[in-house]
Amino acid sequence: MAERLYFEDVEEGTELPTLTKTPTTQQLVQFGCATYDYYELHFDKEFARASGLPDIIVHGPLKNSFLAQLVTDWIGDAGTLKKLSVQYRGKDMPGSPVTAGGIVTRKYVEDGENLVECDLRLDNADGVTTTPGHAVVALPSRGN
């Protein structure tokens, strides 16, 4: 289990540990079934090519879940993910690694909660950010 992360442990500019995933076609099928997303762009290579893509593409919400995992792994069981938003700006293909990362951009106390804001990104193997995001988390204080 990871060491507990406290509000006092982070500062603006703190980098989140990176998380690398390599989505597989099997994972896309499983994710599509679990989320009832049967759009052919995620499993039918010929359909994807006929739509102008080089191959099937990773579901946007799956990429969102990679960023959610990055944040929740970092904050641990004592932290709370309050808000997560992402934008889909590029396509990712199965079999190609993507790396999630982030940086703390703000920390403050509001309504008795110790809040930390982070800018997030999911980069493809070429280092291009295909999925930028933003998170707000609440962390425990060493003083409580």
CA distance 97 to 19: 10
- Cα-Cα-Cα-Cα dihedral of 67, 69, 75, 78, to 10°? 140
Rounded Cα distance between 79 and 92, Å, is 30
Q: What is the pLDDT along the chain (144 residues), one digit of tens a residue?
A: 457 899 999 999 999 999 999 999 999 999 999 999 889 999 999 999 999 999 999 999 999 999 999 999 999 999 999 999 999 999 999 999 999 999 999 999 999 999 999 999 999 999 999 999 999 999 999 986
98 within some domain: yes
Per the domain annotation, does 89 fall within a domain? Answer: yes
What are residue 80's DSSP bridge partners? 138
Q: Does a structural domain hold residue 36?
A: no
Q: How big is the chain, counted in residues?
A: 144
CATH number at residue 91: 3.10.129.10
Please tell me the total count of domains within the chain.
Answer: 1
Range of the domain at 86: 7-22+63-138
Question: Is there a domain that residue 33 lies in?
Answer: no
**Does residue 49 lie in a domain region?**
no
Rounded to two decimals, what is the model's pTM?
0.93
**Nearest residue to 73 via CA among 17, 10, 132:** 17
Domain membership of residue 144 (yes or no) is no
